[in-house]
A and B are shown apart, each in its own frame.
Chain A
C-alpha cells in the first residue's frame, strides 16, 4: 500500500532510523491507521534495516500497539478493581448495547472497537475509559451514551 509506505517513511524521517526509533514509529502508525498491518511491519523493517521478526516481536508485546484491524475510535474501558467497584460492568453493557458489539469486537463500519484495559490512573474518578487518547471519567450509562453519540457524529 503506497499510503502506508509513505507514512512509514515520514515517521522514520521524524524519529530516525535506529532501533530506538522503532516504538515511536509503531506508535505513529497506530495513531494514523489505528493498527499495524503486516505491510506496515515489513515496511518498517525495510526502512530501519532490521528483521521483520524483530518488528513483529516488539509490536505484539504492547497492548496499545494493535496488530489487529481496529475501528477509527478505540474505546478502552478500565476493568481494574476500583472501577469495577464503581460499576464498570454497566458501562460496558451500555456500550455493547449501543454499538451492538461485544468486548474485543469492531463495528461493521469500522468506526468503533470496544476493549477492556487495566488501571488507567483515574481510580478516584471511576469508572474511567479512553477513546483513542482522550480520557473520560466518572461515567454513568447516560453519560457514556452521550459520549458515544458524539463520536458517532464525528
Chain B
C-alpha cells in the first residue's frame, strides 16, 4: 500500500524567516487583530498540554498588571524528545521572533528562554544570535529584550510553575493551580509560557497567514508538528509532519517491519500496541504527543520499557506530594516483585489502582501522567509483566 498520507512539511526549519519584515508588519497591527489571526489558525501548544495559544496570549493581555513576561520553555526533558534542541540550533530567530510578537500582544518588555542544563553547549551561539536579534529590534524601535536562563538537570522544571520557581532561585517544585500563569507566573506576574515549537509556529503564522497553517491537519489538530523519532527504526531523527495520521501510517513509514508497539508522547505518554495501530490517531483527538515517538520491535521486553520509565519518574519526581513520591517507588517495586514471582499476578490490579489514585491526587502533571504509560503497557502486555 503506498503511503500517500504522510505529508512532509517545511515550516519550522525553513531558514528564510524574513525576521524584520514580519515583525514590522505584525507590530503595525492591532492586538485584537493578531489574536484573531492566531485563533483562526487553530494553533495549540506543542509542549504537551495542547492549550490554544491565542487564548493564552489573550488572557494574559487582559490582565491589568504593568509587568508581564513571555517565557520560552526550552527545558525539553521528556524521554524521546529532541526537536527543540534542533530548532534552537537551526532557527533561533524564529523562536525569538515568536516571543517578540507575543510581547507586543501582552505588553511585555522582557522575555526569558529557559534552557535545560543538558543543552549548555548551545549557549554561546544562542547568545551571539540574541545580540543580532536585539540589534534588529533596536532598528525597528521595538523595546523588548530576551534573557537566557539555564536549568540544572531537573525534568520537573519543564512543568511551567516549577520552571518559574527555578527562575526565581528556588527548588523546582510545582505550585498549586489555579492561579494559572496567565494570571500569576514568573515573579507572580501574568506570564505567557510557550514551548519552543509553539513560538516558531506563531511566528510562521504571521509570516504566511493563518490559512496556510490551517490547511494542514484535522479539525482538532491543525497544522503540522515536529516529531522526534527514536528506538527500533531504520531512520531515527527529526521530521515535521502534517497532523492527523494514524499510528499505522506512521509505522509504515518509520517502522522496521517488526514494530510491536509505539510509545507516543514519551514516558508520560501512551503505549499503542500493534492491534490498535489502525484506529489510533496521533493528535489531540487520539493520542497527543509533544513529539516523542519511540518504536519497539518484537525483540524488546515491554517490562524493561515500563521499568525504565518508572525509574525515570521515581528519580525525577520532585518529592513534594506523597502520592507521587511514594507511588512511583511502589509501582516500580511492585512490577519487580511480580516479575520475580514474589507477588501473584493479581497484584498488578492493585498497582493499577495505585496509578489511578496518583492520577487523581498528584499535585502536578508528572504524578498524574504516570498512569498513562503504566496502564497502557500493563494492560496491553500483561504476559510480559508476569513471565
Interface residues of A (CB under 8 A from B): 18-24, 26-27, 57-58, 61-65, 79-82, 84-85, 117-126, 130, 133-135
> Complex: how many Å from CA A134 to CA B121?
7
Is the beta-carbon distance between B79 and A63 smaller than 8 angstroms?
no
Is the beta-carbon distance between B237 and A20 smaller than 8 angstroms?
no
Is the beta-carbon distance between B121 and A20 smaller than 8 angstroms?
no
Tell me the smallest distance from the CB of B314 to a CB of chain A, in Å: 11
Interface residues of B (CB under 8 A from A): 76-82, 84-85, 116-121, 149-155, 166-173, 228-232, 236-238, 267, 294, 300, 304-305, 308-309, 311-312, 315-316, 318
Q: Which residues of A contact B316 (CB under 8 A)?
A: 118
Is the beta-carbon distance between A63 and B237 smaller than 8 angstroms?
no
Tell me the smallest distance from the CB of B297 to a CB of chain A, in Å: 10
> Complex: how many Å from CA A65 to CA B120?
14
Q: Which residues of A contact B152 (CB under 8 A)?
A: 23, 26-27, 62-65
Q: Give 18 new A-B contacts, CB below 8 A, not counting A62-B153, A123-B236.
A: A19-B168, A20-B169, A22-B169, A58-B170, A61-B172, A61-B173, A79-B311, A80-B79, A80-B308, A80-B312, A118-B312, A119-B78, A119-B79, A119-B80, A121-B84, A123-B230, A133-B120, A133-B121
Tell me the smallest distance from the CB of B242 to a CB of chain A, in Å: 21
Q: Which residues of B contact A80 (CB under 8 A)?
A: 79-80, 267, 308, 312
| Given known A-B contacts A27-B150, A64-B153, A81 and B169 have beta carbons under 8 A apart | no
Q: Which residues of B contact A27 (CB under 8 A)?
A: 117, 150, 152
Among A64, A81, A120, A124, max chain B CB count under 10 A is at A81
Q: Which residues of B contact A81 (CB under 8 A)?
A: 79-80, 231, 267, 294, 305, 308-309
The chain A residue sitting closest to B186, CB to CB, is: A20
Is the beta-carbon distance between B232 and A85 smaller than 8 angstroms?
yes
Tell me the smallest distance from the CB of A12 to a CB of chain B, in Å: 13
Q: Please report the number of residue pairs spanning A and B whose Cβ atoms sit closer than 8 angstroms.
A: 116
> Complex: how many Å from CA A120 to CA B117?
10
Pick from B85, B118, B151, B168: contact of A20, CB under 8 Å: B168
| Given known A-B contacts A81-B79, A119-B80, A63 and B168 have beta carbons under 8 A apart | no
> Complex: how many Å from CA A123 to CA B293?
10
Q: Which residues of B contact A65 (CB under 8 A)?
A: 152-153
Q: Which residues of A contact B267 (CB under 8 A)?
A: 80-81
> Complex: how many Å from CA A14 to CA B304?
46
| Given known A-B contacts A62-B172, A82-B231, A123 and B153 have beta carbons under 8 A apart | no
Tell me the smallest distance from the CB of B45 to a CB of chain A, in Å: 19
> Complex: how many Å from CA A118 to CA B310?
12
The chain B residue sitting closest to A30, CB to CB, is: B152
> Complex: how many Å from CA A125 to CA B228?
11
Q: Which residues of A contact B304 (CB under 8 A)?
A: 84
> Complex: how many Å from CA A62 to CA B153?
6
Among B84, B228, B231, max chain A CB count under 10 A is at B231
Is the beta-carbon distance between B171 and A61 smaller than 8 angstroms?
yes
| Given known A-B contacts A80-B79, A133-B121, A121 and B169 have beta carbons under 8 A apart | no
Is the beta-carbon distance between A124 and B82 smaller than 8 angstroms?
yes
Tell me the smallest distance from the CB of B306 to a CB of chain A, in Å: 10
> Complex: how many Å from CA A2 to CA B232?
53
Q: Which residues of A contact B315 (CB under 8 A)?
A: 118
Q: Which residues of A contact B311 (CB under 8 A)?
A: 79
> Complex: how many Å from CA A119 to CA B341?
30
Cross-chain pairs A/B with CB under 8 angstroms, 13 sampled: A23-B152, A27-B117, A57-B171, A61-B318, A62-B151, A63-B154, A81-B231, A81-B308, A82-B79, A123-B79, A125-B236, A134-B121, A135-B121
